Amino acid sequence: MSAETERRITAVVLERPGARASVEEVILTTPGPGQVLVRMDASGVCHSDLHLADGEWTADTAVVLGHEGCGVIEEVGRGVDADLIGRRVVLDWLSPCMQCAACISGQAWNCRRTRALENRLADGGSRLQRGDGSTLMPYLGLGTLAESVVVDAKTAVPIPHEVDPVAGALIGCCVSTGVGAVLKTADVPAGSTVVVYGLGGVGLSIIMGAVLAGATTIVAVDRHLAKLAIASSVGATAGIVAEDPERTVQAVGDATGGGADFAFEAIGLSTTIEQTIRSVRAGGTAVLVGMTPLGVRASFDGFDLVDRSLRILGSNYGFTVGPIDFPRYAG
């Protein structure tokens, strides 16, 4: 420990799932081998943070919340290129191991050996602690709701310095999840008809991804008129105020000429998942993007699924590969 230094920072701490988060002064230790210290310029609040804070997901220890972040590298640990100091970076919460079958086959988003899902750095530890010496873990290996973070160097992806840090933070999860669901998971071809259920950050990113893909009809569905107006401003060609499921599905059918080529669910509710599946045409594809609370189940008509040759795809993190996709989306 003699070569290590400590700094006191302010961070948002969650003692346990379902507890009230608090702002605390905590201790951050200088980066170890293969790690970097990043001064945070911006952090988003993703629904995944809320799932944990609301007690809908689990964690074994107290954590510093946050996993959407953009900042500047200020220190590097042993084995990390010192030229990275001063670079603006977006943080990749997945931190794939790059050794398992999924990673080797080019599907890093399916890595299950990543320590990030345990809220740990790649070495299994953390550089965070309270003043009493008790360890704090970084949520999804990042803990971006803090003044500074120490993360694995491979998760800090350089982007152009002129990129707005707020936009950069959203690229770290929200934008990549939504745009990637369109361009990578579903590979939506030009001329397609698309419907999007839920117009939070991910849903709006799906709409922008559909625009990039060249979709000609993009139908946005939400309960709030203000969100429908925002969706229109970023490329939606029609908006539907969500009512009861039957009327909503009928309205989607009317707006898409009998059903969409691709329907995306960006909320994580059983009722909207079921509506999404019902909203595609014969031969169409339903893409489930929103993360549900643990244990939530949704259903579909088995005969209908086979009879109409439907596809249901799960899209984790928009099939993101941070070093490739973050600079692409930032550009």
Q: Which residues are catalytic?
A: 46, 48, 51, 67, 173
C-alpha–C-alpha distance, residues 113 and 303, integer Å: 37
C-alpha–C-alpha distance, residues 303 and 315, integer Å: 24
C-alpha–C-alpha distance, residues 182 and 193, integer Å: 12
C-alpha–C-alpha distance, residues 64 and 128, integer Å: 9
C-alpha–C-alpha distance, residues 140 and 66, integer Å: 8
Q: Find all residues with CB under 8 Å of 286, minimum gap 6, and list them.
A: 262, 263, 264, 265, 276, 277, 279, 280, 310, 311, 312, 313
φ and ψ of 196, to 5 deg: -125, 120
Return the axis-axis angle of helices 201-213 and 225-233, rounded to nearest 10°: 30
Q: How many CB atoms lie within 10 A of CB 244?
A: 8
Q: Give the burial string for 88-118 (b: 16+ CB within 10 Å, else e).
A: bbbbbbbbbbeebebbeeeebbbbeebbbee
Q: Give the burial string for 188-218 (b: 16+ CB within 10 Å, else e).
A: beeebbbbbbbbbbbbbbbbbbbbebebebb
C-alpha–C-alpha distance, residues 331 and 329, integer Å: 5
Range list of H helices, the chain: 47-53, 101-104, 165-170, 176-180, 201-213, 225-233, 245-256, 270-278, 302-307, 322-330
